[in-house]
Chains A and B, each alone.
Chain A
Amino acid sequence: MSDPVLEAKGVAKVLGHGAGEVHALRGVDLSLHGGELTLLMGPSGSGKTTLLSVLGCMLAPTSGTVHVCGHPTENAGAERLAELRRNHIGFIFQSYHLFPTLTAAENIQLALDVRGEQGEKARTRALDALARVGLSHKIKSYPREMSGGEQQRVAIARAIVSDPSAILADEPTAALDSENGQAIMGILADIAREPGRGVLVVTHDSRLSVFADRIHHIEDGRIVRVEENSARPENLRAAAGAPR
């Protein structure tokens, strides 16, 4: 197995102070490897999003270590963490978080712009990413002109356009109907097929487990079980209708 693109060891996170103190994570170990789609499942309040925030370099752990493509996040300042996110991680959010005043292509290009990639080359890369999620016909569409499923595809294109090693998705299908949800997961599974790129999806929807190579179950801030999904059908992507 290749080196993990994201690795958490003994990660604990305490939120709040005094009487309001909550132990959101209690010594979590988790590795995300390239070429794999991993699901992080658990009930509400189990620590899924907190773990995603820590792995995504948005939240510093109270204890334990996190490595992003081999880079430690310990003692890293806000700008260094932003740099790690910029260079190694793509994010997909439950509510898409697209910019309403930018077109689909511009939304995607923004992920390159923050990296200093501009001009025609960046534009071409953005259009390629849009084509990859099957939305070449929506280049000039604004988010308000697209369905939820289409907006989430644009968000996926934004996450992959800079070619990050890790994709972190927070409940990417929660706001979608079943058909769109399956399609989105198909695209993510397809992305995870690429060597050197790992996809971690946070969800509480057990129907998505068929797409996963590995499933981490989290409860009360602890990983209570890890399942390997050796029977994952390779044709799920095609069955979900995801574009290649």
Chain B
Amino acid sequence: MPLNFTLASRNLLHDRLRFVATTIGIVFSVVLVMVQMGLYLGFGHMVTRMIDRSDADLWVMRRGTKCFEDPSLIDARKQGAYQAIPGVASAEPLVIGFSDWHMKSGAITPVFIVGSNLNGIGLRPWDVVKGSVDSLSQEDAVAVDETYHERLGTSGIGSTAEIRGQPVKVTVLTQGIRSFTTTPYVFVDMNRARTYIGIPKTYANYFLIKLKPGADAAQVSKAIEAQSPTYEVLTQGQFAERSRTFWLFGTGAGTALFAGALLGVIVGTVIVAQTLYSSTKDHIEEFATLRAIGSSNRYIYKVIMYQALLNAVIGFVLAAIIGYAVVLFTRSGSLPVVITPWLMGAIFLLTVVMCVASAFTAILRVVRIDPVVVFSR
């Protein structure tokens, strides 16, 4: 181990109280960044979940649709015309919208209806823990998520309620299909969805297009848009990106999350900078001695940098443990914190950059050392 690393680590641990305070500061800062960015990822993931879960290659919607939950009506009778376009394997209408869930107790709660052709490429419920998706073809069958039992006044399979005056019975339970709007999703057959939402049978909100193998998506999009000039066709990825951009930046939620993360970086940088500066000031005679015995400035910078890097590594490891706990704790919540290996790596890099950048104030202090002071002290 290089001796300047030993010197750096011992200097760092010499004043334990300061070391603990610095570590807490870094951990706080890194956890803040981690959670904010984890929420950003989690939010981004949640708002596109329905789109990501569909088997569609293309989504047809009314021009200007902002996101999945912002549906405008389109003509469902176009199904045949779209299916006739070369390259299209299938075109399935999708019906979505808000409605009210009337509980037995008389309480009412809003729900978000997702209705699609259960035999086609529509949006079928996933992560089913009880019941069968096929049962949704029954007259009053619905699928709900078990995490919403309390909200919906249900207790499991067989629970009943009413939507728009129509009796419904829970026949399918999923686990973890939660909405970031906190409004529970209710999966039903497409025709009944129209009834629950209150739209005519000739309308839908989207068409989900499945392409034949090797078909040109751009050509198909062009053909659909030629037939329906007021509609637009987006690939699954494009629609997900549009939804994500709308929710994250159109609403300001993403900006707020980024601002929180930036605040974390600033707090961390200031804490580490302040600590390294005061530590360097406390050890200034030692640095002057190093300079007097002939060390290069580079050697001294390394000592300070090692201190900064040690701060970064120790702080990051502790923050990562806390971050992991936060991930576990929020996993089944309405807005889980998602920390991917990529995000972890990026935050580690950010922590290192933050600590190294903080070292510059200390280095500026050291640069001004006059080795001759060792004779006067």
Contact = CB atoms under 8 A, between A and B. Distances in A.
A158 interface: yes
A52 B374 CA distance: 12
Contacts of B285: 97
27 contacts: A53-B372, A58-B375, A82-B295, A82-B296, A82-B297, A86-B293, A87-B294, A89-B294, A91-B292, A91-B374, A93-B289, A93-B292, A93-B374, A95-B377, A97-B374, A97-B377, A99-B286, A99-B289, A101-B7, A101-B11, A102-B3, A102-B10, A109-B3, A110-B7, A114-B290, A114-B296, A158-B293
Given A99-B7, A101-B7, A102-B10, A110 B376 contact: no
Contacts of A110: 3, 7, 290, 293
Interface string A213-229: 00000000000000000
B5 to A, nearest CB: 10
Contacts of A44: none
Nearest to A94: B375
Contacts of B297: 78-79, 82
Contacts of A82: 291, 294-297
Given A95-B377, A101-B10, A101-B14, A113 B3 contact: yes
| B interface bracket (residues with beta carbon within 8 Å of A) | 20 to 34
Contacts of B6: 102, 106
A129 to B, nearest CB: 14
Contacts of B329: none
A8 to B, nearest CB: 16
Contacts of B286: 97, 99
Contacts of A56: 292
Interface of B: 2-4, 6-7, 10-11, 14, 285-286, 289-297, 299, 370-372, 374-377
Contacts of B11: 101
B120 to A, nearest CB: 71
A89 to B, nearest CB: 7
Closest 10 CB pairs of A and B: A86-B294, A101-B10, A85-B294, A114-B295, A113-B3, A97-B289, A58-B372, A53-B372, A58-B371, A49-B375
Nearest to A86: B294
A244 interface: no
Interface in A164-194: 170
Contacts of B299: 113-114
Interface string A93-134: 111010111100010011101110010000000000000000
A113 B2 contact: yes
Contacts of A83: 294, 296
B375 A113 contact: no
Nearest to B9: A101
Contacts of B7: 99, 101-102, 110
